[in-house]
């Protein structure tokens, strides 16, 4: 079969039409087949066991500061499947059963309005903290409706700021003005479907009267604007993202003139009070000094705008260590670093003699620690959490210079007795050492391997009651591959597998699979793999390139048709990651691995499960639909399930999440344990 190089070659193009009756019938028929096969007592028990984990009232409610002394949380359980937005005080939170002040009940709102709202976050007005802009998604899509909400009255504001459904970006300026980027009509969106224009909107006026303050280009990914109300440091910023990794940031003066912050366009930058932080993604020479990709540099902000380049190196990567994240308290900077996929946290403080660094207490040898939140408006407190594959999460409250108070401990959702965590390194095709973790008791059961390998996102250790109950408890082994394309070793690890180098990520994953077999941990027929989104692309490539390595494959909300991905929903925004299929040079390498274009008859493809969501407005469900149809045409063993809600997460509530995970784990277990 020839590759499907042109749209005219594609026999299943009709499945991209979400609203077509024939496509809807096709989906309904395959959903019914899937549920008929899997919907038995074993599946039901698995679904219920997973749902119990997801709905447990003993889970940690991870709070966030809004600067008003309250801790805010969004919570879902069996009684509140769509969730409660609520808040409490620090003292109440310390109690085993805190009293929560419920601000918005999404289930009650849905009943009152006849909608299927899914919570998509809120932006609170500083420093009054009496109003917020609530984002609500229909069914979990990225597109949202924005509505102003009164925190004192616990009600939406009549005639307040309101935006219809769109991929909007909003932020407060003051009580009567907001920055808004949305669909203003023809020409107002980028080719990726995000706002191209930012306007300043005054209360009581029509959106059509809002004044434009910044415009990007049609070929950009998006634009944005924000106001920093920190007393004494009030500033406005606007910016454009030319692609996923390059952007420009401008200080917007009160008169409306823009001052560009002169940093490399692939650098991240952050302004906090007196300080500018810069993290370049490629080597940057400034002031006669070349700083490596992934370094973190600091400079006094106003002096930098005036042309001075007195940069201080706060972090410099090496071959094993990268910067994961940073967070500001009022007077300190908290850095989370990763060394061979193991995290450490440091606090940096500036005084008259310069910057000083010291470690924060924290992480276990194979655990992951991160800063949950800080409250830079009010002081130097921070929330810190740590967890591991076999260690439930612990949440603590600390203050820089003081001790950490343990606030909550997550319960164990499975018996980890006899299990351990090991880290190995596989050797990829080009000789690169690729780390991966193996979790389990080594009892000879089937192995589930997962990975992602894209967008500089690191796969760090995490505790999962779902994997514990659904896989480890049954005698299975779980493995996580830290392949190139991710962020485990910073920008260099990501850059090594971007665009024309993408196949390195696939080679890495195949090398981990082979290493698992070589070490006697599993065999190909007992090795299943699972991944979502970009990880779904990885699964599709493994299916079509290395079918002999695996016994079963699951791809969730996958990217599979690399010929048409830029024409579907947000796909154009990922050209910097993958390449442009409309460019002949880029298509030359994309076509070599694009799963949909590389399905061939007569290959030893293992059974595959494809899962997606009709409401996914990021990765089009047509990717999974067409792949399932094409595999079925060639007689391969393909199972398909499409949730009608859920957006890119594929599920809109815990019940749907439990169903999808039960489908995944039951499918893999059955296929990998067949006699």
Q: At residue 393, what are phi and psi to the nearest 5 degrees?
A: -70, 150
* Sequence-separated (6 or more) residues with CB below 8 Å from residue 272: 328, 376
CA angle 403, 406, 409 (to 5 degrees): 160
* C-alpha distance from residue 153 to each of 108, 130, 183, 272 (Å): 16, 9, 30, 32
Q: Which is it for the CA torsion 508, 514, 520, 526, positive or negative? A: positive
> Using alpha carbons only, how large is the chain's radius of gyration in Å?
25
Rounded to 10 degrees, the C-alpha dihedral 151/153/156/158 comes to -130
Cis peptide before 41 (omega within 30 of 0): no
533, 573, 594, 613: the catalytic one is: 533
Question: Would you state the structure tokens that stand for residue 273, as one six-digit string?
Answer: 């009070």
* C-alpha distance from residue 594 to each of 11, 503, 581, 605, 633 (Å): 16, 11, 10, 16, 18
80, 241, 623, 648: the catalytic one is: 648
Shortest CA distance to 453 belongs to which of 513, 511, 498? 498
Tell me the pairing of strands 222-228 and 235-241.
Answer: antiparallel
- The CA distance from 592 to 254, in Å, is 52
Diameter of the chain measured on Cα atoms: 74
Respond yes or no: is residue 135 known to be catalytic.
no
Question: Would you state the structure tokens that stand for residue 634, as one six-digit string?
Answer: 């060639």
497 and 505 Cβ atoms separated by less than 8 Å: yes
Respond yes or no: is residue 613 known to be catalytic.
no
- Please, how many CA atoms are within 13 Å of residue 176, restricted to the half-sphere of its CB? 4
- The CA distance from 498 to 505, in Å, is 9
- Which H helix or E strand runs over 477? strand 477-481
The answer for 461, left when phi > 0, alpha when psi is -120 to 50, beta otherwise, is: beta
List alpha helices for 434-478, DSSP H: 465-470
Q: At residue 43, what are phi and psi to the nearest 5 degrees?
A: -65, -45
Question: Would you state the structure tokens that stand for residue 142, as one six-digit string?
Answer: 């990225």
Place of tokens 């095709």: 429
Active-site positions?
533, 648
């Amino acid at each position: 079969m020839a590759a499907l190089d042109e749209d005219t070659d594609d026999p299943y193009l009709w499945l991209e039409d979400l609203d077509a009756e024939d496509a809807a019938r096709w989906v309904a028929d395959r959903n019914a087949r899937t549920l008929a096969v899997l919907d038995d007592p074993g599946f039901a028990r698995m679904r219920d066991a997973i749902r119990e984990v997801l709905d447990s009232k003993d889970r940690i409610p991870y709070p966030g500061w809004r600067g008003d002394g309250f801790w805010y949380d969004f919570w879902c359980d069996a009684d509140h499947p769509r969730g409660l937005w609520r808040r409490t005080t620090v003292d109440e939170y310390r109690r085993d059963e805190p009293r929560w002040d419920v601000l918005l009940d999404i289930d009650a709102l849905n009943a009152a309005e006849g909608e299927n709202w899914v919570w998509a976050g809120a932006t609170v007005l500083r420093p009054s903290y009496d109003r917020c802009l609530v984002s609500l998604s229909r069914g979990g899509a990225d597109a949202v409706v924005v509505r102003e909400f009164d925190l004192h009255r616990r009600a939406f504001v009549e005639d307040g700021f309101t935006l219809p459904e769109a991929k909007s970006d909003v932020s407060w300026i003051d009580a009567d003005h907001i920055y808004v980027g949305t669909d203003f009509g023809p020409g107002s969106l980028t080719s990726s479907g995000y706002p191209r224009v930012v306007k300043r909107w005054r209360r009581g006026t029509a959106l059509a009267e809002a004044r434009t303050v910044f415009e990007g280009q049609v070929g950009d990914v998006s634009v944005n604007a924000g106001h920093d109300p920190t007393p004494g440091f009030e500033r406005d910023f606007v910016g454009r993202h030319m692609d996923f990794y390059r952007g420009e940031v401008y200080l917007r003066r009160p008169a409306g003139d823009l001052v560009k912050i002169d940093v490399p366009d692939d650098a991240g930058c952050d302004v906090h009070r007196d300080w500018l932080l810069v993290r370049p993604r490629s080597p940057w020479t400034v002031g006669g000094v070349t700083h490596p990709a992934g370094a973190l540099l600091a400079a006094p902000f106003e002096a930098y705008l005036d042309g001075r380049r007195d940069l201080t190196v706060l972090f410099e990567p090496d071959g094993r260590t990268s910067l994961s994240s940073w967070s500001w308290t009022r007077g300190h900077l908290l850095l989370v670093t990763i060394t061979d996929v193991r995290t450490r946290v440091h606090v940096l403080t500036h005084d008259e003699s310069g910057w000083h660094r010291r470690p924060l207490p924290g992480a276990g040898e194979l655990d992951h620690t991160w800063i949950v939140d800080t409250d830079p408006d009010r002081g130097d407190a921070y929330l810190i959490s740590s967890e591991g594959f076999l260690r439930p999460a612990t949440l603590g409250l600390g203050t820089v210079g003081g001790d950490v108070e343990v606030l909550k401990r997550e319960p164990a959702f499975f018996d980890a007795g006899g299990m351990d965590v090991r880290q190995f390194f596989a050797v990829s095709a080009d000789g690169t050492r690729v780390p991966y973790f193996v979790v389990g008791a080594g009892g000879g059961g089937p192995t589930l391997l997962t990975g992602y390998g894209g967008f500089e996102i690191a796969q760090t250790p995490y505790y999962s009651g779902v994997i514990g109950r659904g896989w480890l408890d049954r005698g299975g082994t779980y493995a996580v591959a830290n392949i190139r394309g991710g962020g485990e070793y910073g920008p260099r690890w990501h850059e090594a597998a971007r665009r024309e180098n993408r196949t390195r990520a696939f080679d890495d994953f195949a090398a981990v699979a082979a290493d698992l077999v070589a070490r006697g941990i599993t065999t190909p027929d007992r090795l299943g793999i699972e991944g979502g989104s970009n990880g779904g692309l990885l699964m599709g490539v493994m299916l079509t390139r290395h079918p002999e390595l695996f016994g079963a494959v699951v791809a969730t909300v996958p990217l599979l048709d690399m010929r048409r991905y830029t024409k579907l929903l947000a796909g154009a925004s990922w050209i910097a990651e993958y390449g442009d299929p409309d460019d002949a040079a880029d298509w030359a390498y994309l076509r070599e691995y694009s799963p949909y274009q590389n399905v061939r008859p007569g290959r030893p493809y293992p059974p595959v499960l494809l899962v997606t969501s009709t409401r996914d407005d990021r990765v089009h469900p047509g990717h999974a639909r067409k792949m399932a149809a094409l595999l079925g045409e060639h007689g391969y063993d393909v199972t398909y399930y499409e949730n009608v809600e859920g957006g890119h997460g594929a599920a809109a509530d815990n019940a749907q999440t439990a169903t999808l995970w039960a489908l995944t784990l039951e499918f893999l277990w059955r296929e990998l344990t067949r006699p």
